[in-house]
Structure formats: C-alpha cells, structure tokens
Structure 1
Amino acid sequence: MSTAPNPIDLQKHLGGVDYPANKADLIKAARDHNASKDIVEALEAMPDRQYDGPNAVSEAVTKR
C-alpha cells in the first residue's frame, strides 16, 4: 500500500472545489488539475460520502 499523499500537494490539486463535495467531484477536480496517480488513488480509496471541506478530505485520505 502506498503512503498517503502530502496534504499540501493534495489541496493544490483540489483548488477551486466548492464544498461540500462528494468523492466523485473531488476525483474529477484532481484529474482536472493533473494530479499524480498517487493522489487520484488516495481519493478513490476514500469512503463515498460528502466532504465538508479540505480538512475532511485530508483526514479521510490519511485514514486509509
């Protein structure tokens, strides 16, 4: 299993996301911002739910 992406890098690739956002919205935003494979995979591994903000996303990614 790969390590969780750096939270700063993660948030750089999620710039412009309107929260609350669901998992699919976050993955699309990351891909639109040319996120690395590790970041996209980390987002794909998160629970499928609504996220209230960047901190909730970072927390979900690090709990994998």
Structure 2
Amino acid sequence: MAELDPIELQKALTGAEYPAGRDDLVAPATSNGADSTLVQKLTRSGSKRFDGPDEVHKAVFDNE
C-alpha cells in the first residue's frame, strides 16, 4: 500500500464544502485524481460526517 501524504489529501479535497459526509468527500477526491489508497481510506473512515479538513486528516491518518 502506498504511503499517504497530507498534501495529497489537501489537493484531493479541493472544492469540498464542510460540514460534509463521507460520500461528499469521496466524490471530489475521485474527480481531483486522488490515489486509490486515499479514496479507500476516506470510504472506510469511521466518521460519517466531517466538520472540517482537520477531522478528515485525523480520520485518514490516525487509522494508518
């Protein structure tokens, strides 16, 4: 599995609006060309709702 990069997460979430549900973040990540590993991490994150990018970062990187 490729190592995830916080900068790539920021790029993937360009255009995302918060608060956002998990599916609301997967769509822009996919259209922004995010790595499949990152999309999987978003899809499998435990949170169903994110109030901001910091919460997304925690959900993706704290579970590595």
Band of TM-score, shorter chain: 0.7 to 0.9
What does residue 12 of structure 2 align with? 13
Q: Following the alignment from structure 1 to structure 2, what is the Cα–Cα distance between the partners of residues 24 and 9? A: 18
Task: Describe how 1:45-56 pairs up with structure 2 within 5 A.
Answer: 45-56=44-55
Cα distance, 1:63 vs structure 2:
2.3
Aligned to 2:36: 37
> Aligned partners of 1:24 and 1:49: how far apart in 2?
8
Distance in 1 of aligned mates of 2:54 and 2:46: 15
Identity %: 35
Matched residue, 1:27: 26
Q: What 5-or-longer segments of structure 1 have no aligned partner?
A: none
Aligned length: 63
The CA RMSD over aligned residues, in Å, is 1.5
Structure 2: gaps of 5 or more residues: none
